[in-house]
Structure 1
Amino acid sequence: MLIRKLLMAPLIASAAAGCQSAAAKQADSPAEALMEVRGVVEIHSGGHGLGYVTLDDGKCYDLALPANVLKNTRRWDTKRVVITGSLQFRPRIDEMMWFDIKDRKIEGFGCSEDVIYVESIKLL
């Protein structure tokens, strides 16, 4: 019985750690993945700043937003913007609460598996 408990401890610890955070896979070449999109941005304050942009065609991208945008959500929320950044991939794993993308955290859920690491954002 003791051996069984000892063998289960690393498994439980690993699962608990996975529920907290995971690093997202970064784009292989940021220059190749650089993109610009236009649409309406929505930012949900609290947590790690879940934000996403919905394009005119309905496509949605989650956003890894810079701190200055998260500090001033009223300026950006529900506004039409142009966003430039690198496309990152985030795996869809229901147990993940948040993900690290470079120096930013994003919520573990959202509208897409594609995340734009926002380099610039401008009001239209």
Structure 2
Amino acid sequence: MTTGLDLCEIDRIRHSMRNPRFCGRVLGEWEYEQLKERGFPPQSVAASFSAKEAFGKAMHTGLAGFSLREVQLMRKPNGVPYLALSGAAARLADGWQFSVSVTHTAATAAAVVLGERKDAEI
């Protein structure tokens, strides 16, 4: 089992979002569309960014070896979050399954990613 945890300042993301290209550079296509439908709330964009960082920490690579856009924090219709991986992130995570949890306050967003080998014995 592996764990990654990240905490992100929402004001830092809000400031970055002043650049109209920021969301397109860090959010994957599906993630972008989900957040666009909701008006790109800075706390949700920060939670997505935090999930990407937490994934990198869980994989012991930091943000190296994959593109931020390849790790997407998605939400099921009932709001349950999950990670959708593609490209190098999916190759890096081959053989692993993940759970993700995100939360935020007025000032910070946080994400925890738990990874477990698919062939791990229970």
Q: TM-score, normalised by structure 2?
A: 0.30
Which structure: larger Rg?
A: 1
TM norm structure 1:
0.29
Give the number of the structure with larger relative contact order, counting CA–CA contacts within 8 Å between residues 6 or more apart: 2
Which structure carries more strand by proportion?
A: 1
Q: Looking at secondary structure, tell me which structure has more helix per residue.
A: 2
